[in-house]
């Protein structure tokens, strides 16, 4: 084959087009939000949670009734234009009590998840980072506590502390961090050998700075997913405790209390149990849909 000088002429280069950004760069969280928006069930769960929050905050404010007002002349009424979801055995508006119960259930869920997030992340981060004997001792404590079901711990603590909203939060905060601690420990063990941790050590970063500024932020994906999925678990636990009489005190209206009160007259007035049960179910489904969507959105392996 013969080669000519024309075959080796330089091509026309446009420097501006070569440096043009074809696709704008996105951060990890922007990409996660983009993928989350594509998950229809996760978005349904998210907007359902937003709607429940709005109803829980503003619903009792605009309602003409109070959650504790009794009117024996209107007891056990069916759904009507005056009482949209009927009344209970003491004539109290059921819709108002369900909206007020949403406040209690969501408060327990979010605060328990916050305590779980704080204690579990710190405990698991320290255990995974230091390793060795410290890790062995700390994980043996977790394994001993995990040997007994968490719900049994909560029931025993509630029997000792006596029923009440504050004591429910204390009981949940004492035991719900165990799962989070194990997850954070596993993430830290896999991340602490990365090059950026060695670089942080070389510039004189302390152990606490490495944990809080490098390891924990890079493990936020699993942490957020676990915290989100712990919220419905805490809500269900509070409803169960209230249902068996170890929850909030009367006349406070928790969803579990409403279900427990309605069970006595279920055959005659089934709607009194139906509506609180629907509220619990919708909330549980919404948080689980959102948690599953976050798990998929925050998974780096699925990033495109």
Q: Per-residue confidence at 48, pLDDT binned at 50, 70, 90?
A: very high
Domain 49-65+86-302 grouped into CATH 1.10.3720.10? yes
Q: What pLDDT, on a 0 to 100 scale, did the predictor assign at position 258?
A: 84
Q: Where are the domains of the chain?
A: 49-65+86-302
The vertex-29 CA angle with 27 and 34, nearest 5°, equals 95
Q: Give pLDDT tens digits for 71-114.
A: 777 777 888 888 788 888 787 888 888 888 888 888 888 888 88
SS3 87: strand
Q: What pLDDT, on a 0 to 100 scale, did the predictor assign at position 45?
A: 92
Q: What pLDDT, on a 0 to 100 scale, did the predictor assign at position 51?
A: 93
Q: Give pLDDT tens digits for 186-243.
A: 888 888 888 888 888 888 888 888 888 888 888 888 888 888 888 888 888 888 888 8
Task: Count other C-beta atoms under 10 Å from residue 9's C-beta.
Answer: 8
Tokens 């506590």 belong to 145
Is residue 124 a contact partner of residue 188, using CB atoms and an 8 Å limit? yes
Q: What pLDDT, on a 0 to 100 scale, did the predictor assign at position 130?
A: 87
Q: Which two tokens stand for residue 57?
A: 């905050």
Q: Omega of the bond prior to 251 within 30 degrees of 0, cis?
A: yes
Task: Count other C-beta atoms under 10 Å from residue 273's C-beta.
Answer: 18
Task: Count other C-beta atoms under 10 Å from residue 117's C-beta.
Answer: 19
User: Is 90 exceeded by the pLDDT of residue 50?
Assistant: yes
Is residue 12 a contact partner of residue 250, using CB atoms and an 8 Å limit? no
Q: Which two tokens stand for residue 303?
A: 């990033």
The Cα 27–Cα 33 span in angstroms is 10
pTM: 0.79
Q: Give pLDDT tens digits for 6-46.
A: 667 666 666 555 555 556 666 767 777 888 888 899 999 99
Q: Give pLDDT tens digits for 117-133.
A: 888 888 888 888 888 88
User: Is 80 exceeded by the pLDDT of residue 136?
Assistant: yes
Q: Which two tokens stand for residue 170?
A: 């204390």
């Amino acid at each position: 084959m013969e080669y000519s000088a024309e075959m080796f002429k330089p091509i026309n280069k446009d420097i501006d087009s070569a440096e043009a950004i074809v696709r704008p760069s996105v951060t990890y969280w922007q990409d996660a939000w983009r993928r989350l928006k594509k998950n229809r069930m996760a978005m349904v769960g998210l907007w359902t949670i937003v709607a429940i929050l709005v109803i829980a905050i503003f619903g009792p404010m605009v309602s003409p009734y109070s959650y504790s007002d009794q009117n024996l002349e209107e007891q056990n009424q069916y759904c009507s234009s005056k009482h949209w979801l009927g009344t209970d055995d003491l004539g109290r508006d059921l819709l108002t009590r369900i909206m007020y119960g949403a406040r209690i259930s969501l408060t327990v869920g979010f605060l328990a998840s916050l305590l779980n997030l704080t204690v579990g992340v710190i405990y698991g981060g320290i255990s995974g980072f230091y390793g060795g004997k410290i890790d062995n001792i700390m994980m043996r404590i977790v394994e001993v506590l995990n040997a007994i079901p968490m719900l049994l711990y909560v029931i025993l603590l509630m029997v000792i502390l006596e029923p009440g909203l504050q004591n429910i939060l204390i009981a949940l905060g004492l035991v719900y961090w165990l799962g989070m601690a194990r997850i954070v420990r596993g993430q830290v063990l896999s991340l602490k050998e990365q090059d950026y941790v060695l670089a942080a050590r070389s510039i004189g970063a302390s152990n606490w700075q490495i944990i809080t500024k490098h390891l924990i932020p890079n493990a936020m994906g699993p942490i957020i997913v676990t915290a989100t999925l712990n919220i419905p678990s805490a809500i269900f636990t509070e409803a169960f405790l209230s249902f068996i009489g170890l929850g909030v005190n009367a006349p406070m209206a928790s969803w579990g209390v409403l279900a427990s009160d309605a069970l006595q007259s279920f055959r005659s007035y089934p709607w009194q149990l139906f509506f609180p049960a629907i509220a619990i179910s919708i909330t549980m489904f919404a948080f689980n849909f959102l948690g599953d969507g976050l798990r998929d959105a925050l998974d780096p392996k699925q990033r495109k």
